[in-house]
Chain A
Amino acid sequence: GAGVSQSPRYKVAKRGQDVALRCDPISGHVSLFWYQQALGQGPEFLTYFQNEAQLDKSGLPSDRFFAERPEGSVSTLKIQRTQQEDSAVYLCASSLGAGVYSSSYNEQFFGPGTRLTVL
């Protein structure tokens, strides 16, 4: 597809269940970011991949959160033993480049998000 896709779009989980959220970045994009957006709040950074390397996972809120991107394309965010406070929209974004400064190569393209509700 032309953009970043995420699946599922909506996920309802019972407290204690494990969930896996998928992100398909734009083909060829080097950088991939995961964000968590609670209702009424701005997104918060979770983790960053450059190709298959997870360069920063400092935003993951607990060791129940795990992300991977084994082949440098599709990424999965896994949440184990979900809690009610995990309820949020999980956003994925990708960019073509791995640079940090303003450039069209470093512009982020966002997926539609996965809305996770933990009951």
Chain B
Amino acid sequence: KNEVEQSPQNLTAQEGEFITINCSYSVGISALHWLQQHPGGGIVSLFMLSSGKKKHGRLIATINIQEKHSSLHITASHPRDSAVYICAVRSVTGNQFYFGTGTSLTVIP
């Protein structure tokens, strides 16, 4: 059973394109995280959302609690955005995290 589903699994884009990665979840959550993982394994937290929308530079994250869905958008994509993007949700108890399998993004110059 996958508590968190991401789509697409793989995504290739041309530099400059607008990118959307989707995340759906089936459990009650207290917060949703978007993480970025580069080759070699390092994980960086991009966003933590409990509601609404957040923006940081070219990255925008939205969440719809009623629909149990979140999206990560990248505007004006760049080759350095190439990475695996992972959606993770924190349970309502706050003690557990459930992760999606990630979306592998490749941005071609």
Contacts and interface: CB of A to CB of B under 8 A. Distances in A.
Interface in B43-80: 43-45, 48-51
A66 interface: no
A112 B41 CA distance: 7
Given A42-B86, A89-B41, A100-B90, A48 B48 contact: no
B95 A55 contact: yes
A41 interface: yes
Contacts of A101: 30-31, 50
A52 interface: no
A65 interface: no
Interface of B: 4, 30-31, 33, 35, 41-45, 48-51, 86, 88, 90, 92-102
Given A42-B86, A110-B44, A112-B42, A99 B33 contact: no
A102 B48 contact: yes
B96 A108 contact: no
Contacts of A18: none
A58 B96 contact: yes
A109 B43 CA distance: 8
A41 B31 CA distance: 21
Interface string A47-60: 01000000110110
A91 interface: yes
16 contacts: A37-B41, A42-B101, A43-B86, A43-B88, A45-B97, A45-B98, A100-B30, A100-B31, A100-B92, A102-B31, A102-B48, A106-B48, A108-B33, A110-B35, A110-B43, A112-B41
